[in-house]
Structure 1
Amino acid sequence: MKDALAALELARQTGMPKEVLLALQVQSETLELTALEPLLSALGDPAQSRQAYIGLKTALGEDADGWKMLWCQLVCASRQRKRYETDEVYIETMKAFSRFVNECRRRTGKYRFDRGWWTWRQVSDRVVRLGALEYEKRTREGQKVIDIHIPSDASLVPERVDASLEEARHYFDDSAKIPWTCDSWLLSPALRPLLPKDSNIRAFQDRFAILTTDKTDDEFIEWLYQRPVDTPIHSLPGQTTLQRAVQCFLIQGGKIGSALGVLC
């Protein structure tokens, strides 16, 4: 009962839509967690969280809308509250859950939770949101790095990015000793000619030295257009200047892809 109350309160505090709150209430009353407890405990451990997610997905079975997984992850996340430096950082980090279900509705027309494969990181304190950006301490090709993630609602206004990076430097004790990396479509060199010189995206790109590019990565379609990656080019929306510029570029045979950069 204590876990259920805490998980529902977390869902409310992160701005979960009412329709989703009702679905979670149903899960709190019907999903038996006792047999899943070993997996839930492991989900909160950074060293075990990824494998625990895989095991939990198998144990939950049919979960078409993802509410079982969302409920289990919220229960586990509600247990992590005291691990955070401040309650504000905790709530801002966990807002990823409501952000993802809202993104799914914009993308598909229906509330669903389809990002359990990512949010085990938030549950296990692997990913933390500090201001505009998210950060994850991880190993990339055998080297410890701090990965910078860009949430869909992030402001890339330079002052906001500066403030987030400064907060992160204080948050991570060894921040000066290891590289800071970012792997994103927003770093793609193909974007630069499509952006005005005073673009916040260009200013963000200027912070990084590009290490590699991947022209085959089409996930930018989901982030820029809020549409499935297999959406036909001519069916993509053109509500913003960047959407229209990228669509025209794609029609002409261009590739956006993504790039991996290291913070200068």
Structure 2
Amino acid sequence: EDIWCQGFSEPGAGSDLAGLRTRAVDGGDHFVVDGQKVWTSGAQFADWIYLLVRTDPAAPRHRGISYLLVDMKTPGISVRPLVLMNGHRHFNEVFFVDVPVPKANLVGPMDQGWKVAMTTLMYERKGGGGRGHDGQIARLGTLARELSVDGAPAWDSPLVRQRFAQLVIEAAAFKYTRLRNLTRQLRGEPPGPEVSILKLFGSELGVRVADFAGELLGPRVLVNRPSEDVPDAPRWYNRVVSARQYTIAGGTSEIQRNIIGERVLGLPKD
């Protein structure tokens, strides 16, 4: 099996992806690619990369973009990991210098890769909100019953119970929204702009779970090693430190709100 990564974002083209500048120049039977990608998950392990490149710099921004499949072992490609605040290294910068790519590796028509890219992103966003938060929330409920605050279990506080109940409700809503989307797939329908609801709600719910964990565990959440009170403390340290990134990766929450407003609710762009 091959491992793939996704070469979309660039230092100057993240949410504004149509501003990408990585170039692919006609070299006869191949393209010659030069440029840089960033925030490329798993690039250091990948065999291949889905790559968005600009093939017609004179065309309007959303046109003149092509979608290539590139072998990561091709000479001229280098990968540099980006170290996150939690110590993880799954994001990377990827550099392309005079990289030859066969024209047979072009996906879809030349200069019309934007539509292919949007289809790719819809499938990514379908899972971008997480696979579910039920296990984390259940564990926080157990911790609330075990941890003591001011001499009494944290669970005795009505504020803790209220926050917990709200998370359970939101997780259930997220679960059934995901099941509706799965039904579409089983009917053979492609994902549509409504997957932005999953991406937005799921990633923001992850932040709310992390906030509750931080408030419940207090200073314990800052210790990245097991303790007697919280044997799975590293899990919560990483949850709190890492949660916000999922509201950015795969399209920011602001971008998802725009998509929902314009393409699901039919609101005007301005």
Whichever structure has more strand as a proportion of its residues is: 2
Q: TM-score if structure 2 supplies the norm length?
A: 0.21
Whichever structure has more helix as a proportion of its residues is: 1
Q: TM-score if structure 1 supplies the norm length?
A: 0.21
